[in-house]
A and B are shown apart, each in its own frame.
Chain A
């Protein structure tokens, strides 16, 4: 097991605890994201992967612990500070989160129009370059309702990199994609990371696609890091939980049955449900 060297960590999380109501999502979690790498955080549904992205981007505040992005303590930032930080981050939402009343072109142009004073011709060039990078320059005049799920995610990706961020966060980018769009997204994430010198954080439970492009993997479950390392390390990990998750076994440390009284006792109980 190799732990990421912390001196070149872009994101450093130490002792993170977070509760949602009564439910403990994270319990004393430590995690590093190396600059320039593709780091994937994997875990079963409901293990708090999306919450982790929201904590890194300051959309949620931790109950305890320390989250540092590029040397800045996110949990201590005020709104203006958060907005300054977010201009250097891009986030790809699971649904794409495109503005439905704007065309593909205007969606990608949106952050540029909000945060820069570029003239129309420069703006047009930049938007077309970003759209070209995701292969959708020809779709610039379409509305979000006319796009397939995979295309919408690619437009959202073009929007996320519009301001040339140093880090891009992907929330379940592969969920619900057909094999072709999935392949395109997998390739794009790796390509963008290497070509633009980004740092990518990928949250997913699609084991094979994620493992194929990640430099570092974190497996989280029940608020803790269960395993971490390179994809090769994880593939060689023999612990029961890791094997069940990575190989998709129906029963193991994570039980097939939701906790319940014995079946026989339950069936004998009289009365209606």
Chain B
């Protein structure tokens, strides 16, 4: 009984290690094939469109509401100390440093990551990937690499849009509804938000998240069990793993970037 349990644990552990190994091999193959993207930039733009433009609506609307909520909550807390003038800084810093990259990554994982996993998984299940192999076309280079770089490029742009729309949302609520001084909202933001520390670090975060979310989505699709149940499981796993890894990595990156 005990031995059986141990054996199961060991098998499970080995399975996780094996999958992690395969995921890293796939990442290496994707990176080695990156020349394909330079040779055929059209493939890359198609994927930037797929991940980026098609996620614009959900990212924009979410950014607006997150900014509005930040405006409300920030105002209630800050006004207790008579510091509501600093609302702009608070909204912008929260968005640019944390919420922009993190929430965008979570939204992209749900919107584009799951779609990527299902697409690649179904291509595997319907033998399209084997078909490419048999036409002497490397499916990793031709299908996965452009999608990977498409995701990496699209993510920082989406995060920037999320943050910009969020700052406007905070402005509508703070300045428009609650009467915070307009000049203070913008000028404090301009004075206190540091380009290198806040904006660049936020962009680096979303680049990392873009790579990780797309990598997980592609691996889950590529490694799927080629049945309808397999594809459905991989799609779920893609979103769950992406969310957990993004949140965990965010803590590590924040500690590295802002912890002194």
Which A residues contact B (CB, under 8 angstroms)?
57, 59, 79, 82-84, 86-87, 89-91, 93-95, 97-100, 110-111, 114-115, 156, 159
Q: Are B127 and A97 in touch, CB under 8 angstroms?
A: yes
Interface SS of B by simple majority: loop
Give Cα A95 to B137, complex, Å.
19
Q: Are A114 and B135 in touch, CB under 8 angstroms?
A: yes
Q: Are A57 and B136 in touch, CB under 8 angstroms?
A: no
Residue from the list A59, A86, A94, A100 in contact with B135, Cβ < 8 A: A86
Q: Are A91 and B134 in touch, CB under 8 angstroms?
A: yes
User: Chain A nearest CB: distance from B158 CB in Å?
Assistant: 23
Residue from the list A59, A84, A114 in contact with B133, Cβ < 8 A: A59
15 additional contacts (CB under 8 A) given A59-B133, A84-B136, A111-B136: A79-B138, A82-B136, A86-B134, A87-B136, A91-B131, A91-B134, A93-B127, A93-B131, A94-B127, A97-B126, A98-B131, A111-B135, A111-B137, A114-B135, A115-B136
Residue from the list B131, B136, B137, B138 in contact with A97, Cβ < 8 A: B131
Residue from the list A94, A100, A114, A156 in contact with B137, Cβ < 8 A: A114
The chain B residue with its CB closest to the CB of A54 is: B130
Query: Count of chain B residues with Cβ under 8 Å from any Cβ of A?
Result: 11
Q: List 16 A-B contacts (CB under 8 A).
A: A57-B134, A83-B138, A86-B135, A89-B134, A91-B131, A95-B126, A97-B126, A97-B127, A97-B128, A98-B131, A99-B131, A100-B128, A110-B135, A111-B137, A115-B136, A159-B135
The chain A residue with its CB closest to the CB of B122 is: A100
Residue numbers in B under 8 Å from A94 (CB-CB):
127
User: Chain B nearest CB: distance from A86 CB in Å?
Assistant: 4
Residue numbers in B under 8 Å from A57 (CB-CB):
134
The chain A residue with its CB closest to the CB of B129 is: A97
Residue numbers in A under 8 Å from B136 (CB-CB):
82-84, 86-87, 111, 114-115
Q: Are B130 and A59 in touch, CB under 8 angstroms?
A: yes
Residue numbers in B under 8 Å from A86 (CB-CB):
133-136
Residue numbers in A under 8 Å from B135 (CB-CB):
86, 110-111, 114, 159
Residue numbers in A under 8 Å from B133 (CB-CB):
59, 86
Give Cα A110 to B135, complex, Å.
9
Give Cα A79 to B29, complex, Å.
13
Question: Using an 8 Å CB-CB cutoff, how does the interface string of B212-246 with A read, 1 for contact, 0 for none?
Answer: 00000000000000000000000000000000000
Give Cα A59 to B138, complex, Å.
12
The chain B residue with its CB closest to the CB of A89 is: B134
The listed residue with most A CB atoms (<10 A of its CB), out of B128, B131, B133, is B131
Question: Using an 8 Å CB-CB cutoff, how does the interface string of B98-134 with A read, 1 for contact, 0 for none?
Answer: 0000000000000000000000000000111011011
Give Cα A146 to B107, complex, Å.
33
Residue from the list A99, A111, A114, A115 in contact with B128, Cβ < 8 A: A99
Give Cα A60 to B133, complex, Å.
12
Residue numbers in A under 8 Å from B138 (CB-CB):
79, 83
Give Cα A89 to B131, complex, Å.
12
Give Cα A111 to B127, complex, Å.
16
Residue numbers in B under 8 Å from A87 (CB-CB):
136
